[in-house]
Amino acid sequence: MAIWDDIIPPEDLKMFSKAKMGGKSSYGKKPAIIVVDMTYGFVDDAFPKGNSEMGWPAVHSVARLLEKGREIGAPIFYSKGAHARTATERGRWKSEKTFDIGSFDPKEYEIVPEIAPREDEVVVTKTFPSAFFGTSLASMLVFHNVDTVIVTGLVTSGCVRATVVDAFSYNFIVVVPEECVGDRGTVSHKVSLFDMHMKYADVAPLAEVIEYLNSNRG
């Protein structure tokens, strides 16, 4: 049973089936892991955009994935936002609490320590949803000869989805471990996973993704 089965109506499923969407991809031989915006601002209820109910379980699952990824030597990349000093830097975000101008708590943009990057792991700072937009992430993935990206993080319907679509557009094979992503809303989370699985990525159980990483040792 898929996580979205209680959200997506049968008539919609029928149309996607008619279009032969949602099949399983063949994963590549050189995976990388992307950890999108796993900062206190999204993970924890203490912040306006945070959701502890989904955020902390995702942190624990990402920790398991990172342990395996590091064990096999997979390249690991992180993204996070930054405080905007001006309206120009803030852009046209609709949320009043996104990249506030003025006073802010620096902890909001801090990656939670349970999955903190190591010294040799890259953190790209971004302003807009995709970890690819305005960063050198694609070039760095090419440097490592990556063919498959495992996208994790927060939030499913926003920055995770945007990163998945861009990774797909760059012709990477995209995998989303279901337990390693979360959102501030259950419906947006499930619908976004469904939509990504139908068109851009394989949404798979974490255990399956770890098994895939095991098959890529050395």
Does residue 67 have a pLDDT over 70? yes
Number of residues written out for the chain:
218
Specify the DSSP class assigned to residue 52.
H
Q: Which residue from 46, 105, 115, 113 is spatially nearest to 76, judged by alpha carbons? A: 115
Other beta carbons within 10 angstroms of residue 56's beta carbon come to 17
Q: Let me know: does 114 contact 59? Beta carbons within 8 Å.
A: yes
Task: List the chain domain ranges.
Answer: 29-214
Q: How far apart are CA 174 and CA 24, in angstroms?
A: 11
Q: Of 113 and 90, which is predicted with more confidence?
A: 113
Q: How far apart are CA 159 and CA 101, in angstroms?
A: 21
**pLDDT for residue 206:** 98
For the CA atoms of 7, 11, 14, 16, the dihedral, rounded to the nearest 10 degrees, stands at -60
pLDDT digits (tens, 9 = 90+) for 36-62: 999 999 999 999 899 999 999 999 999
Token pair listed for 115: 């999955």
| pTM: predicted TM-score of the whole model, two decimal places | 0.93
Does residue 186 have a pLDDT over 80? yes
One DSSP character per residue, 92-132 reads: T-S-TTSS-SS---GGGGSBPGGGPPPTTSEEEE-SSS-SS
Q: Let me know: does 198 contact 164? Beta carbons within 8 Å.
A: no
Q: How far apart are CA 152 and CA 159, in angstroms?
A: 10
Q: How far apart are CA 30 and CA 78, in angstroms?
A: 18
Token pair listed for 104: 């802010």
Does residue 170 have a pLDDT over 70? yes
Q: Summarize the confidence of residues 73-89 as an average pLDDT.
A: 85
Q: Write phi, then psi, for 78 (nearest 5 degrees).
A: -120, 155
Q: Summarize the confidence of residues 140-146 as an average pLDDT.
A: 98
Name the residue type at position 24.
Answer: K
Q: How far apart are CA 64 and CA 18, in angstroms?
A: 37
Q: Which residue from 200, 186, 201, 204 is spatially nearest to 7, judged by alpha carbons? A: 186
Does residue 117 have a pLDDT over 80? yes
Q: Look at residue 207 and give its three-state secondary structure.
A: helix
Q: Which residue from 141, 139, 176, 216 is spatially nearest to 3, judged by alpha carbons? A: 176
Classified by CATH at the fold level, domain 29-214 comes out as: Rossmann fold (3.40.50)
